[in-house]
A = this chain, B = another copy of it.
Amino acid sequence: MSFLGRWRTNVVNQIPALVLVAMCVASTLMSDRFLSSTNITNVLLQAAVLAVISVGMTFVVIGGGFDLSVGSIVGLSGCVAAEVMLRAGIFAGVVSGIATGAAVGLANGLVIARANVSPFIATLGSMVFVRGLALLMTKGAPVVGDDGLPAGFIWFGTARLFGIPWPVLAAIFIFAIFAWVLHKTAFGTRVFATGGSREAAFLSGVPVRRVTLLVYVICGITAGIAGVMLAARLQSGQPTAGEFYELTAIAAVVLGGAALHGGEGYLYKTMIGVLIMTVLTNSLNLMGVDSYWQRIAIGVVIVAAAAADQLRAKVN
């Protein structure tokens, strides 16, 4: 009983991973291209931007919050990075893109942690506001300059190291750093505590407001990084880039098993959620499924994956 029980618990804890594996097996059976090396790199490349956004989103969600503004941050920071880059070089561009994300994150955090506005409404407001800024700054047109963005920057979006695209390597690096922060540092434990019970964390000496603030700053930074990465892939700063990323990222985090009320989750599981979302559209495209049917399939898979994951709660 005990051994079987533990085994069952372990299996059940890995349901998101099993769902991902099942999806990959099904895709391989349905399309012989799915496992081709081109396609695997494709999937990883497509997942990279979402993965970086979802890293920050995981912090916010585990900390008991919610961030709808990441998609707009991606748009704005990409445009800022492109604009600065055209004038002051790649490095300055990248730094200012990321700084833009951090600034928006800080503003979100202040409104939420200091003015006590609900995260939903605060980040909905900044989602609209920041998109407006991006459009205003660019007058709605992509930022490319006269001869395009610097070649070195575009190279980053397309080049590979040992066959692995640079954006994927960047995403892995960022994941590793933040996984360490979340799971191995005192700050990470405080994030879990704040999300799990604000009151208990407060009475244990956790500076809950500061933690809340920092969590949004982290989310802003990762969204800023993602914006810069996307600009490199799109070879331009696009003011409308990143739309819908907010919902996709939250979905990835929740599919990975983090509780939306906070206090629970693992960063590596979020990555599984990201891959589920990415493999889903990729394999539907490979199979040539009609776009209306694609929506239906995506809706079903999201709900089914989440429902399967609920078995975990049952067994534990």
Binding site for B on A (CB under 8 A): 68, 111, 115-118, 120-122, 124-133, 135-136, 140, 247, 250-251, 254-255, 259-261, 291-296, 298-300, 302-303, 306-307, 310, 313
Contact = CB atoms under 8 A, between A and B. Distances in A.
Query: Taking chain A's interface residues, is the majority helix, strand, or loop, or is none over half, making it mixed?
Result: helix
Contacts of A247: 68, 124
B292 A111 contact: no
A316 to B, nearest CB: 13
Contact of A129 (B120, B296, B307): B296
A83 to B, nearest CB: 16
B292 A135 contact: yes
A275 B133 CA distance: 25
Contacts of A116: 307, 310, 313
* Shortest 5 CB-CB contacts between residues of A and residues of B: A129-B299, A132-B295, A125-B303, A125-B302, A132-B296
A122 B295 contact: no
Contacts of A302: 121, 124-125, 128
Of A68, A116, A260, A299, the most chain B CB neighbours within 10 A belong to A299
A126 B260 CA distance: 18
Given A118-B260, A254-B118, A125 B295 contact: no
Contacts of A300: 125, 129
Contact of A125 (B120, B122, B291, B299): B299
Given A302-B124, A303-B122, A306-B118, A295 B131 contact: yes
A251 B296 contact: no
B299 A255 contact: no
Given A117-B303, A120-B254, A132 B292 contact: yes
Contact of A295 (B135, B299, B307, B310): B135
A207 B116 CA distance: 33
Given A128-B302, A303-B126, A310-B115, A121 B293 contact: no
19 contacts: A68-B247, A117-B303, A118-B259, A121-B306, A122-B306, A125-B298, A125-B300, A125-B302, A125-B306, A126-B299, A126-B303, A128-B295, A128-B296, A129-B298, A129-B299, A132-B296, A132-B298, A136-B292, A136-B293
A132 B132 CA distance: 29
